[in-house]
């Protein structure tokens, strides 16, 4: 019961203090809609990036017998436990205009990442991809490998096997991982504000907008943004968990 | 099963005891304060604008050297956040904000005891990384879209002042990021991630050689006042009074002077 109270009381507090009468006006304000649109777009792109890069990575981690896999897995999962601000500092030091890679990018190609929408996606993918990787790796490990072997003996190339046999078998795991990654990307704050900055329309996502509202003493907007985030998260967890992740 | 239940009861018991102790402790505060008032010692918690970090750290060092019984604890941050915390009943003794408007929020909410006193004034400065990669020469350069520019969020004091300066100079700035406090902006300049920024003059001074300050005539026309006030929820009003007096007195003046704040 105490656990339940600890988890639910803050939410109840938000609902209690929420400016319900001004809610429709605040939720549809240009400021909130801009942040919402940016958040949904960047989180979706970050999830796609995570899928493209993370699924092969999970496959390597689950199937490779090369030495050093335990270390590689540890490194890949670091962003899971790293404070996001530290992740942002790492991104800035690497990809900032004075950073190791960023400096080269700017001088050679005239590309600069920080303070752009691309930087938001970078930061989100950095913290969200490990969620996808562990989820996919887990289902790859529990999937029956014999089907892969049979496909191979029937003459399928390893790419065909991966595409036609392995992927469908771990589909639910990938879906669950993608949803987790999307939710994590949507909630990303620390790495974003450190690496991408905060400017309306380009880098100021929902969590950043809430932070700015708190910093500026605009409690009503902060509460409305918090409720919006919670509503989105609950919708994802309730609506999709039973379908893709739950044991039923 | 039985073991779990015993543990549960014990846990609830301990929590209740802790809660009661805390509750009583809070209730008894007035009486302990009266005892403490004789020597005005104790912990004084000050919510102070981020731009005061250097000056107030000096002030605390100086003051606690004179009064070893005093313990000064600071919480530096954006003035607007601090004012909200004070209104929400944060366990603090003194609030110091970077402009009058923000202090008024606390005054109107009735959490300020007595009238706020202005302790210092500050102006804005145009700063760039030490090597000035964007070749910034004046305020007009803040409108250049090829430059990376950081400002404070217009809803916090340093952003409001930045807007005022830009308005005064007739410059439509093209910022790339808006931070919630001036220290965040300074970090971006020091790191070299932005080409130009508007910060307080005192923050520019504190950064020393790490950055370059570009002089502009328009900058001197806008200034901001720092009011300090005792809070009604102060736990040690006597000691807090002593700290307030130091802020407006000689010790405070010299620390604020060194940091580059102008007299009120």
| pLDDT tens digit sequence for B94-150 | 999 999 999 999 999 999 998 999 999 999 999 999 999 999 999 999 999 999 999
Q: Please, are residues A238 and A169 in contact by the beta-carbon 8 Å criterion? A: no
* Candidate from A73-82, A147-156, A190-199, B3-12 with smallest mean pLDDT: B3-12
Considering only CA atoms, give the Rg of chain A. Answer: 21
Of B78, B84, B176, the CB nearest to A219: B84
The answer, yes or no, to whether residue A45 has pLDDT greater than 90, is yes
3 state SS of A11: helix
CB atoms within 10 A of CB A241: 12
Which whole number is the average pLDDT over A84-109? Answer: 88
Distance CA B82, CA B68 (A): 27
Task: Work out the percent of chain B whose per-residue pLDDT is above 70.
Answer: 85
The answer, yes or no, to whether residue A91 has pLDDT greater than 50, is yes
Q: Please, are residues A142 and A63 in contact by the beta-carbon 8 Å criterion? A: no
Alpha carbons within 13 angstroms on the beta-carbon side of residue A6 total 3
pLDDT computed for residue A219 by the predictor:
82
Phi-psi region for residue B132, left (φ > 0), alpha (ψ -120 to 50) or beta? left
Contact B231/A at CB under 8 A: no
Domain topology for A27-242: MetI-like fold (1.10.3720)
Task: Work out the percent of chain B whose per-residue pLDDT is above 90.
Answer: 68
What residue of A is the nearest CA neighbor of B149? Answer: A115
Chain B residues in contact with A3 by the CB 8 A cut-off are: none
DSSP secondary structure, A65-133, as one string: --TTHHHHHHHHHHHHHS-HHHHHHHHHHHHSTTSHHHHHHHHHH----TTSHHHHHHHHHHHHHHHHH
Q: Which of B50, B98, B176, B192 to mutate to test the interface with A (most CBs of A within 10 A)?
A: B176
Which whole number is the average pLDDT over B9-27? Answer: 51
Of A97, A200, A216, the CB nearest to B156: A216
- Give the tokens for residue B129: 């990384």
Task: Work out the percent of chain A whose per-residue pLDDT is above 90.
Answer: 36
For chain B, the 3-state helix, strand and coil shares in percent, each to the nearest 5, are: 50, 25, 25
How would you classify the pairing of strands B177-179 and B149-152? Answer: parallel
pLDDT computed for residue A247 by the predictor:
46
* Candidate from A150-159, B64-73, B177-186 with smallest mean pLDDT: A150-159
Give B224's strand partners.
Answer: B122
Give B226's strand partners.
Answer: B120
Q: Please, are residues B178 and B154 in contact by the beta-carbon 8 Å criterion? A: yes
Distance CA B18, CA B27 (A): 14
Contact B57/A at CB under 8 A: no
Q: Which among B5-9, B40-44, B158-162 has the top mean pLDDT?
A: B158-162
pLDDT computed for residue B225 by the predictor:
94
Sign of the CA dihedral B101, B106, B109, B115? negative
Distance from CA of B177 to the nearest CA of A (A): 5
Give A25's strand partners.
Answer: none
Which whole number is the average pLDDT over B178-190? Answer: 91
The answer, yes or no, to whether residue B75 has pLDDT greater than 50, is yes
Please enumerate in sequence order all residues whose Cβ is within 8 A of that of B131, keeping only pairs 6 or more positions apart, or say none.
B212
Contact B180/A at CB under 8 A: yes
Closest CA relative to residue B190, chosen from B107, B141, B257, B127: B127
DSSP state of B143: G
pLDDT computed for residue B34 by the predictor:
42
* Candidate from A137-146, B77-86, B108-117, B157-166 with smallest mean pLDDT: A137-146
The answer, yes or no, to whether residue B3 has pLDDT greater than 80, is no
Please state, in angstroms and as integers, the Cα–Cα distance from residue A7 to each residue in A65, A152, A159, A239, following that order. Answer: 42, 49, 45, 20
Taking only residues 16 to 45 of chain B, the set having a beta carbon closer than 8 angstroms to any beta carbon of chain A reads: none
Reported as a pLDDT band with limits 50, 70 and 90, residue B25 is: very low
The answer, yes or no, to whether residue B36 has pLDDT greater than 60, is no
Q: Please, are residues A140 and A63 in contact by the beta-carbon 8 Å criterion? A: yes
pLDDT computed for residue B45 by the predictor:
94
- Residues B131-153, buried b or exposed e (16+ Cβ, 10 A)? eebbebeebebbebeebbbbbbb
- Give the tokens for residue B122: 């500050």
Sign of the CA dihedral B177, A195, A201, A209? negative
**Residue of B30 and B227 predicted with greater confidence:** B227
Per-residue model confidence as pLDDT tens digits over A3-15: 888 888 888 888 8
The answer, yes or no, to whether residue B186 has pLDDT greater than 90, is yes
Distance CA A147, CA A183 (A): 32
The answer, yes or no, to whether residue B161 has pLDDT greater than 70, is yes
pLDDT computed for residue B6 by the predictor:
55
Distance CA B26, CA B21 (A): 9
Does the beta-carbon distance from B191 to A96 stay under 8 Å?
yes
Per-residue model confidence as pLDDT tens digits over A134-179: 999 988 888 877 888 888 888 888 888 878 888 888 888 898 899 9
Taking only residues 118 to 177 of chain A, the set having a beta carbon closer than 8 angstroms to any beta carbon of chain B reads: none
DSSP element (H, E) containing A61: helix A30-63
DSSP secondary structure, A134-176, as one string: HHHHHHHHHS-THHHHHHHHTT--HHHHIIIIIHHHTHHHHHH
- Give the tokens for residue B257: 């002077």
Report yes or no on whether pTM surpasses 0.80.
no
What residues does each domain of chain A span?
Answer: 27-242
Give B212's strand partners.
Answer: B128
The answer, yes or no, to whether residue A53 has pLDDT greater than 60, is yes
Which whole number is the average pLDDT over B197-224? Answer: 90
Q: Is the ipTM of this complex over 0.85?
A: no
Does the beta-carbon distance from B81 to A96 stay under 8 Å?
no
The answer, yes or no, to whether residue A241 has pLDDT greater than 70, is no
pLDDT computed for residue A10 by the predictor:
86
Please state, in angstroms and as integers, the Cα–Cα distance from residue A165 to each residue in A140, A149, A159, A171, B104, following that order. Answer: 11, 10, 10, 10, 67
How would you classify the pairing of strands B94-96 and B223-231? Answer: antiparallel
Q: Please, are residues A143 and A101 in contact by the beta-carbon 8 Å criterion? A: no
Chain B residues in contact with A34 by the CB 8 A cut-off are: none
Distance from CA of B264 to the nearest CA of A (A): 25
Closest CA relative to residue B253, chosen from B43, B30, B62, B51: B62
Chain B residues in contact with A219 by the CB 8 A cut-off are: 84
CB atoms within 10 A of CB B63: 22
- The residue written with tokens 């985030």 in the block is A229
Chain B residues in contact with A197 by the CB 8 A cut-off are: 150, 176-179, 188
């Amino acid at each position: 019961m105490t656990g339940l109270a600890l988890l639910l009381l803050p939410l109840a507090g938000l609902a209690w203090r929420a400016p319900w009468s001004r809610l429709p006006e605040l939720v549809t304000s240009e400021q909130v809609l801009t942040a919402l649109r940016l958040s949904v777009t960047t989180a979706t792109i970050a999830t796609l990036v995570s899928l493209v890069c993370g699924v092969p990575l999970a496959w390597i981690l689950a199937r490779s017998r090369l030495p050093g896999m335990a270390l590689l897995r540890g490194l890949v999962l670091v962003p899971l436990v790293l404070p996001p601000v530290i992740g942002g500092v790492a991104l800035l030091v690497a990809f900032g205009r004075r950073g190791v890679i960023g400096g080269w990018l700017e001088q050679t190609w005239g590309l600069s990442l920080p303070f752009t929408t691309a930087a938001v996606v970078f930061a989100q993918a950095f913290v969200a991809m490990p969620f996808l990787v562990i989820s996919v790796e887990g289902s790859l490990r529990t999937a029956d490998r014999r089907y892969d072997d049979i496909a191979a003996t029937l003459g399928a190339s390893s790419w065909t096997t991966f595409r036609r046999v392995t992927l469908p078998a771990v589909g639910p795991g990938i879906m669950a991982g993608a949803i987790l990654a999307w939710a994590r990307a949507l909630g990303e704050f620390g790495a974003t504000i450190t690496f991408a900055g905060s400017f309306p329309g380009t880098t100021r996502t929902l969590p950043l907008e809430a932070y700015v509202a708190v910093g500026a003493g605009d409690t009503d907007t902060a509460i409305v943004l918090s409720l919006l985030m919670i509503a989105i998260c609950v919708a994802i967890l309730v609506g999709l968990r039973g379908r893709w992740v739950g044991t039923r | 099963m039985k073991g779990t239940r015993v543990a549960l009861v014990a846990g609830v018991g301990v929590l209740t005891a802790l809660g009661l102790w805390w509750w009583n402790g809070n209730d008894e505060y007035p009486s302990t304060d009266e005892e403490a008032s004789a020597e005005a010692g104790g912990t004084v918690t000050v919510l102070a604008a981020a731009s005061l970090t250097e000056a107030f750290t000096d002030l605390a060092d100086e003051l606690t050297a004179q009064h070893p019984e005093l313990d000064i604890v600071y919480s530096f941050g954006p003035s607007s956040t601090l004012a909200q915390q004070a209104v929400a009943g944060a366990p603090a003794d003194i609030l110091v904000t970077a402009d009058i408007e923000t202090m008024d929020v606390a005054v109107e909410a009735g959490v300020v005891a007595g009238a706020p006193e202005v302790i210092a004034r500050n102006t804005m400065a145009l700063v760039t990384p030490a090597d000035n990669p964007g070749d910034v020469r004046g305020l007009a350069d803040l409108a250049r879209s090829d430059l990376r520019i950081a400002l404070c969020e217009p809803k916090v004091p340093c952003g409001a002042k930045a807007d005022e300066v830009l308005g005064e100079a007739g410059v439509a700035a093209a910022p790339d990021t808006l931070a919630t406090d001036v220290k965040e902006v300074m970090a971006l300049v020091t790191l070299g991630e932005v080409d130009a920024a508007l910060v307080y003059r005192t923050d520019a001074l504190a950064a020393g050689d790490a950055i370059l300050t570009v002089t502009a005539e328009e900058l001197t026309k806008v200034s901001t006042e720092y009011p300090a006030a005792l809070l009604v929820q102060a736990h040690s009003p006597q000691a807090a009074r002593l700290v307030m007096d130091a802020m407006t007195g000689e010790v405070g003046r010299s620390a604020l002077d060194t940091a580059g704040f102008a007299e009120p």
